[in-house]
Amino acid sequence: MIFNSSIGRIFLRSTEKGLTKLVLNPGPEYYPEGDQYHPILISARQQLLEYLEGKLKKFKIPIDWKNATHFNKLVWKTLLRIPSGTTVSYTDIAEEIGSPKAVRAVGLANRNNPIPIIIPCHRVIGKSGDLHGFVYGLEMKQKLLHIENPVQFPLQKALF
């Protein structure tokens, strides 16, 4: 399924078990497959649109973990527990999963997140509080955090 949103076009893919992929502004290699009216896709689309309007704080979409490594699944399930409008550091995630020295591996798991926004890797920031790494860029990360908490994450205005 591909649809338009306030942050661009969104591509979604699912299996019978749950969502497997979300891509922002997909290229031509992403094309709808299978049942575009599958209830999982319809629900995911509706929830994403509500989220982007600031009306939804927690997604209720099944996820198909079939291609996730044990470590990535552990990280991604931890990300799902970060409340909307809040952030944690890569170090916090590494400690939470019982691997305090795996900070870089946590960053890699975030980078490999197949379902950004719904699995909220944008809520992970540097230990200093700075925004770091997001597959769709720091401006998009800032936008998503602003949607969730406009007071704590005001949008930066251009000077010119």
Average pLDDT per 10 consecutive residues for the chain, totaling 160 residues: 94 95 88 78 97 96 96 98 95 96 95 97 88 85 92 68
Are residue 86 and residue 134 in the same domain, yes or no? yes
Separation CA 9–CA 154 (nearest Å) = 24
Looking at residue 160, its pLDDT comes to 46
- Domain membership flag for residue 63: no
Looking at residue 159, its pLDDT comes to 47
- pTM summary value: 0.90
- What's the domain range around 116? 70-148
Looking at residue 158, its pLDDT comes to 52
Instruction: Give the dihedral of Cα atoms 22, 26, 31, 34; nearest 10 deg.
Output: 10
Terminal-to-terminal C-alpha distance of the chain: 37
Separation CA 123–CA 86 (nearest Å) = 7
What is the domain count for the chain?
2
Are residue 125 and residue 80 in the same domain, yes or no? yes
Looking at residue 34, its pLDDT comes to 65
Residues 6 or more apart whose Cβ sits within 8 Å of residue 49? 5
Catalytic residues: 121
